[in-house]
Amino acid sequence: MLTDIEVAKKLLKIHQSAQARNLDFDLSFSEVKRLLSVKKCFYSGEELESDEKSENQRTFDRVDNTKGYVNGNVVACTKKINHLKNNLTIEEIKIIVKGLKKKKLW
């Protein structure tokens, strides 16, 4: 069970990150709390973990990297997927997946 202090710390950390990168920020306490309670990665469906050393550590990703940390643009995902996605758009990811399927790599 998340404490309000844990949620507040994460909210502050994201807000500071947004400020440092000159990104918009309007996430509420309740939205951050909701994101912290998500159990599966938005993109892969993998279980999210709190262990900082795990590739499946919970991170927050901006779906559209041209926007900041604003309501509707932030999802919970694994650290591994967040790093892989980097600055790709969802459309760019779809193109990559389509290409991989054509090559029958899985």
Q: Which helix (H) or strand (E) holds 74?
A: strand 74-78
Q: What confidence category does residue 43 fall into, taking pLDDT thresholds of 50, 70 and 90?
A: very high
Domains of the chain: 4-102 (3.30.40.220)
Comparing 70 with 52, the larger pLDDT belongs to 70
What burial letters (b/e) apply to 24-37, b meaning 16+ CB within 10 Å? ebebeeebbbebbe
Q: How many residues does the chain have?
A: 106
pTM for the full model? 0.86
What residues contact 44, with CB distance under 8 A and at least 6 apart? 77, 78, 81
Provide the pLDDT for residue 106.
Answer: 59
What dihedral angle (degrees, nearest 10) is formed by the CA atoms of 18, 20, 21, 23? 40
Residue 104 reports pLDDT greater than 80: no
